[in-house]
Amino acid sequence: MDLSQYAELFLAESREHLSACNQLLLEWERNRASPEPVSGLFRAVHTIKGMAATMGYGRVADLAHRMENLLDHLRRSGRAPADEIVQLLFRATDALEKAVGLAVAGRERDADLARALPGAGFVGASSRAP
């Protein structure tokens, strides 16, 4: 199956979800007690993960998966997130956006993901994320 025919669709839809992530993070920053932003963030990142894995963009899928684990942990805890967590998610969203662009341009290896979500493997260590 020639996956390249789906690259533009992947890029457009990922960008839509990433833009939604930034909006949701702003909303969450303003209203930390609200449960809606984290659910929306989880769905958006989960969708990007599935699409990236399908395209064979392993590093994008891996970062999205780590974000998803962290969000799943936060969603289940039901607690208001600390400032550092929201900032971490803003940075991770930014890194994911760059990685998506690089992957579609055939330069996924150039994406610097190691520092995109430090400690998230520990914070969201559960692998229960769907």
Partner 1 sequence: MSHTVLVCDDAIFMRTMITDILAQAGFEVVGEAETGTQAVEKYRQLKPDLVTMDIVMPDMGGIDAVREIVKQDPDAKILMCSAMGQQALVVEAIQAGAKDFVVKPFQPSRVLEAVQRVLG
* Residues contributing to the site for partner 1 (CB under 8 A): 1, 6, 9-10, 13, 40, 43, 46-47, 49-51, 53-56, 127-130
- Residue 112 beta carbon to partner 1: minimum distance, rounded to whole angstroms: 24
Instruction: Report the distance separating Cα 99 and Cα 111, nearest Å.
Output: 5
CA distances from 50 to 13, 31, 34, 114 (A): 12, 29, 26, 20
Q: How far apart are CA 101 and CA 16, in angstroms?
A: 13
As measured in angstroms, the least distance from the Cβ of 99 to partner 1 is: 17
CB of 124 to partner 1, least distance (A): 13
**Closer of 29 and 62 to partner 1 (Cβ):** 62
Closer CB to partner 1, 62 or 91, in the complex: 62
Nearer to partner 1, 20 or 113 (CB): 20
- Amino acid identity of residue 86, one-letter, is V
Q: How far is it, in rounded angstroms, from Cα 113 to Cα 58?
A: 12
